[in-house]
Amino acid sequence: MTKFGDATLITRSTNDVVQIQTVFVQLLRLLMQSQIMLVAAIILAYFRRAMTDDYFLNCIANFSHRSLSHHAFSSAII
């Protein structure tokens, strides 16, 4: 203790406390943001589901129609 002065010990202690507080605040911010993003993602997925379902159903229908017509055409030639 006599090796370091009072001012140095106070500065070091203060820096340690500030670092611990910074880590704690960052962890809390991360936890809060992840919960908010999860809720927002669920809400957006719920409202966008109808649009997305229609899009994918149309894509599947078009793909199956094309593959069936292509298959029918190729078998008719042979």
Give 13-45 pLDDT, tens digit per residue: 899 999 999 999 999 999 999 889 988 888 887
* pLDDT band, very low/low/confident/very high, at 11 (cuts 50, 70, 90): confident
What b/e string do you get for 5-24 counting C-beta neighbours within 10 Å, with b at 16 or more? eeeeeeeeeeeeeeeeeeee
Please provide the average confidence, as pLDDT, over all residues in the chain.
Answer: 78
Query: In this predicted structure, what is the pLDDT of residue 2?
Result: 65
Does the pLDDT of residue 63 top 80, yes or no? no
Does the pLDDT of residue 60 top 60, yes or no? yes
Query: In this predicted structure, what is the pLDDT of residue 18?
Result: 92
Amino acid letter, 69: S
**Reported pTM:** 0.47
Amino acid letter, 6: D
